[in-house]
Amino acid sequence: MKILQKRWRRAALLGMPGLLCAAGLAHAAAPARVVGLGGPVTEIVYALDAGASMVGADASSLYPPAALKLPKVGYYRAFSVEGVASLKPDLVLASDQSGPPQALEQLQRLGSKVVVVPSAPTLAALDQRILGVAAALGVEARGSALVGRIHAALRDIRPVPAPLRVLLVSSHTGKLEAAGDDTAAAAMLRLVGATNVLPAQSGYKPFSAEAAVALRPDVIVTTTLSVQASGSLDAFLAQPGLSATPAAKARRVVVMDDLLLLGFGPRLPEALRQLEAGLAARSSPR
């Protein structure tokens, strides 16, 4: 299945028959009924002042508050075809990690235009996401303006004052996992000049208490939902995989909204400013 998904994502971005890629998109009229699959994709629609066209979104679409009120169609990686189809969308905007592949193809056969945009946590891919969504919505000028504003704001981002070793932790299910180098969280660290303590790891993987202690992170970065899954920040830091680390003992932890930290969306400058400020405030033991 992973091989199939990789092939499908590449084909979708290159213009696989039956699906439309973001590049070279053309349409006759602005869509009136839009469903978003992927929190960053939905967020871009609202950032382009096109939220009035949204009739549904997936469970990861948590921002802005208006998106929380939309009918939900499951999680974008395994969304409900029936749920999307019931909303009668004329446009489905999807992250390239949406699926399964056959589900998007089925939506297209049912009459919905399906546009796939890249999800990679890079500035180039963010530009493509915004411009692709804007083209699909028929608001190309707004897309170009939004990209310009983001790049202008990013020029004001400064590296953290001291090099910091950071452990990026996710714990939505109660099981601690650390982020490797090919993740959105690690990309955020690079943009503010901090160091991920697991640069050789791929993706998110469980880690032991012994491994966490050996990594000796200066700061722990995690998300609001990860802390909520533990019940409190104290309970989160008391977990065996974290409690013995220098960062946990000194309570040097940065907690950020999940979509803000991991979405790599139109609020990227705000996310980097928050991360930068949090790391700077915890650059030395208190």
Name the residue among 117, 68, 106, 60 with its Cα closest to residue 84. Answer: 106
Let me know: does 113 contact 20? Beta carbons within 8 Å: yes
User: Which of the 8 DSSP states describes residue 52?
Assistant: G
CA distances from 128 to 77, 124, 156, 168 (A): 20, 6, 22, 26
- Answer yes or no: is pLDDT of 195 > 70: yes
- Rounded to whole angstroms, the Cα distance separating 70 from 58 reads 9
Q: Is the pLDDT of residue 286 over 80?
A: no
With a cut of 60, say whether residue 3 has pLDDT above it.
no
Q: Find out if CATH 3.40.50.1980 is the number for domain 165-281.
A: yes
Other Cβ atoms closer than 10 A to 204: 17
User: Is the per-residue pLDDT at 20 higher than 80?
Assistant: no
Measure CA 139 to chain center: 23
pLDDT digits over 132-190, tens only? 999 999 999 999 999 999 999 999 988 887 789 999 999 887 788 999 988 999 999 99
- pLDDT tens, residue by residue, 106-141: 999 999 999 999 999 999 999 999 999 999 999 999
Q: What is the pTM of this model?
A: 0.87
What residue spans in the chain does CATH classification 3.40.50.1980 cover?
2-154, 165-281
From residue 139, alpha-carbon distances to 31, 41, 100, 143 in Å are 11, 15, 29, 7
- pLDDT at residue 275, rounded to an integer: 96
Q: Which residues pair with 119 in a beta bridge?
A: none
Q: How far is CA 130 from the centre of its chain?
A: 13
How many angstroms separate the CA atoms of 280 and 286, rounded? 12
The CATH code of the domain at 2-154 is 3.40.50.1980
